[in-house]
Amino acid sequence: MHKVLMGIPFLWPAMLQADEVVIAALGDSLTQGFGLVAEQGFVPQLQAWLDSRGAEVQVINAGVSGDTTAGGLSRVAWTLTPEVDALIVALGGNDLLRGIDPSVSRANLDGILKAADAAQVDVLLVGMQAPGNYGPEYKEAFDAMYPDLAWEYGTLFAPSFFAGLDADGGDPASVRADMQPDGIHPNAGGVAKIVAALGPEVLALIERAEE
């Protein structure tokens, strides 16, 4: 089974620079780069952003389109190879689309952070916000699980994957311009804005991993 898993598209590079911090980005289609040519996806754009700032880092794309927090939990053990120094966790969007109970999503994220803690891997947990159509109790529980878990495990925390896409002047049309036609996934320009907003948090993750 291990050999089969090692054949999937986000294989770790065979040769890594000894002085590089290796970050695995564990996520779903937002991380994987759904609907975009390879170089326009989140991980390649983040890598370029970090390179331009002189960071000695290798970002590994561990995003799987359609993955839920349960999917992330099922593969975190073999994502955390000995070469991985840090982990970006950006999961939960598909849990929302499926209306999964926030208590289930929270337990899955807890398992992921527990595995990273056991492996002594530093984490940046990236949050997600629920829409209001599931009701206030669902939204409160879902939105709160990210900061609560970040505090519990002492991880770095970014409140929202989409923070860089805040509507200019409150105009929703400004966000639509950064999205693909499905209204769910960012286009290349939208990814650039997301990376610019999350980039400083990733630099902080690199700094923590180097300590």
Q: Residues with catalytic annotation?
A: 29, 182, 185
CA dist 171 and 153 (Å) reads 36
CA dist 44 → 81, 132, 161, 176 (Å): 20, 33, 16, 22
By C-alpha distance, which of 118, 60, 53, 120 is closest to 88?
60
162 sits in the region (left: phi over 0; alpha: psi -120 to 50; else beta) called alpha
What 3-state class would DSSP assign to 155? coil
CA dist 100 → 15, 106, 144 (Å): 39, 10, 15
Neighbour tally for 151: CB within 10 Å: 10
Question: What are the residues facing 58 on neighbouring strands?
Answer: 22
